[in-house]
């Protein structure tokens, strides 16, 4: 991992992709590449499937305790990430909270909402957990503690649904036959929510592009992480984040 990050720093590589330990990758990347001006803490961002396609969620575990300013920075970086990869002009940004009302949440989240509203981003307002999978916004911002819990809960739900479907369709000869009839629909469902399509989390806020692949990724899913790294490099994402933070400051 250190060799790969050094290559990015020296300009010999446009990006680094690793399936190694997340904490070690973040620590090495932050130590070698440093953070961009105006970014106090890097964030981990990934894509989650929604009813409308997918959305970008950050942070997913790099920062357990965040200030309102950190959440604002996450919103800016997430918006630019969505713009770069999806070619959107102004992606909508939502702040994950326990309710849509501005009076809901702790003081950190309420203050972050005020900062995001004044930031010039396409800020939707507060969103709840179910809004992530509804596709209410293109970007969802939260601290790393909440984001990691949401991600693991989503992974667990998909695993449970897949196992339950297999169990139900194999419980009797008649249901096995029904399963054969429903096979095209089941394959389409599996493809739509295949976690391999969403492999590759971006370490945002660094002076270089670093992508964290899942440790158990196969060749197919690792390809998506590589493509994400290439797309960020083609769109000069770190430079765009630095320029936006300079304008904001």
Dump pLDDT digits (tens) for 40-62. Answer: 999 999 999 898 888 999 999 88
* Domain count for the chain: 1
Rounded alpha-carbon distances, angstroms, from residue 98 to 37, 59, 103, 106, 130: 32, 17, 10, 9, 10
Owning domain of residue 234 = 2-248
Angle at 143 between CA 142 and CA 148, to 5 degrees: 95
Contacts of 187 (CB under 8 A, 6+ apart): none
**pLDDT score for 188:** 80
Average of pLDDT values for 101-129? 93
pLDDT score at 249: 61
For 172-200, what is each residue's pLDDT tens digit? 888 888 878 888 887 887 777 777 788 89
Please, where are the H alpha helices in the chain?
2-10, 22-33, 68-86, 107-117, 129-134, 144-169, 173-181, 183-192, 219-234, 237-248
Which CATH number covers residue 108?
A: 3.40.718.10
pTM summary value? 0.88
Token readout for 42 is: 């890097």
Residue 73 has pLDDT above 90, yes or no: yes
Pairs from 152-157 (Cβ < 8 Å, separation ≥ 24): 154/48, 155/195
Residue 127 pairs in a beta bridge with: 96
Output the pLDDT for position 76.
94
Mean of per-residue pLDDT scores for the chain: 90
Cβ–Cβ < 8 Å for 8, 209: yes
| 116-165 pLDDT per residue, tens | 999 999 999 999 999 999 999 999 999 999 999 998 888 888 888 888 88
**pLDDT exceeds cutoff 90 at 170:** no
Mean pLDDT over residues 210-227, rounded? 91
Q: What pLDDT shows up at residue 166? A: 83
Q: Are 116 and 141 in contact (CB under 8 A)?
A: yes
């Amino acid at each position: 991992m250190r060799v790969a990050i050094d290559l990015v720093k020296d300009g010999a590589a446009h990006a680094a992709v690793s399936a190694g330990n997340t904490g070690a990758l973040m620590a090495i990347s932050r130590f070698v590449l440093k953070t961009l001006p105006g970014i106090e803490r890097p964030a981990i961002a990934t894509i989650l499937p929604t009813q409308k396609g997918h959305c970008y969620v950050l942070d997913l575990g790099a920062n357990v305790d965040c200030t309102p300013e950190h959440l604002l920075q996450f919103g800016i970086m997430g918006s630019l990430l969505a713009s770069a990869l999806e070619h959107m002009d102004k992606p909508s940004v939502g702040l994950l909270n326990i309710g849509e009302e501005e009076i809901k949440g702790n003081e950190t989240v309420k203050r972050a909402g005020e900062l995001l509203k004044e930031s010039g981003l396409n800020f939707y307002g507060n969103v709840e957990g179910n809004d992530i999978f509804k596709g209410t916004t293109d970007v969802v911002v939260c601290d790393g503690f909440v984001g990691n819990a949401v991600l693991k809960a989503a992974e667990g739900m998909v695993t449970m649904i897949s196992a339950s479907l297999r169990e139900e369709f194999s419980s009797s000869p008649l249901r096995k036959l029904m399963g054969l009839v429903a096979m095209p629909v089941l394959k389409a469902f599996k493809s739509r929510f295949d976690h391999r399509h969403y492999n590759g989390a971006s370490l945002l806020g660094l002076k270089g592009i670093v992508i964290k692949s899942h440790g158990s990724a196969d060749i197919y899913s690792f390809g998506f992480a590589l493509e994400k790294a290439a797309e960020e490099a083609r769109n000069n994402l770190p430079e765009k984040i630095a320029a936006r933070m300079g304008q904001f400051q």
